Amino acid sequence: MHSSVRAFLKAQAHPLKPIVMVGKGGLREQVVQALDDALASHELVKVKFQAHKDELRPIAESLAEQTKSDLVSIIGFIATFYRGSDEHLIRIPLELLAKNR
């Protein structure tokens, strides 16, 4: 993902509240499924880490891999993920997409 697209998505995610939580259980199938479902309906999702904060980056990268999404950012204990859908709820400006090529 190009840095300009990442910056655009970070700006879009700013007002969002986390809707998936990683608790004491860590990276469990329920968390992966919850993120997968949330990405299917929202495209851009924040995940809050309430536990396993010392393993935040590896867990976030694993979540992105398992849900076939992009890890947009990690700020504090919140990771933001993006996965486009056929509905194109979030329209990334064409000039930003053109920079990817």
Q: What is the CATH number of the domain that holds 79?
A: 3.30.110.60
pTM of the model: 0.90
Helix (H, G, I), strand (E, B) or coil at 7: helix
- How many domains are there within the chain? 1
Band of residue 60 on the pLDDT scale cut at 50, 70, 90: very high
Mean pLDDT, rounded, of the chain: 89
Q: How far is CA 44 from CA 25, 30, 36, in A?
A: 23, 19, 11
Q: What are phi and psi of 82, to 5 degrees?
A: -135, 135
Q: Where are the beta strands (DSSP E) in 2-83?
A: 20-22, 44-49, 70-75, 78-82
Q: What are phi and psi of 48, to 5 degrees?
A: -100, 135
| Mean pLDDT within 10-17 | 93
Which range of residues forms the domain containing residue 58? 3-98
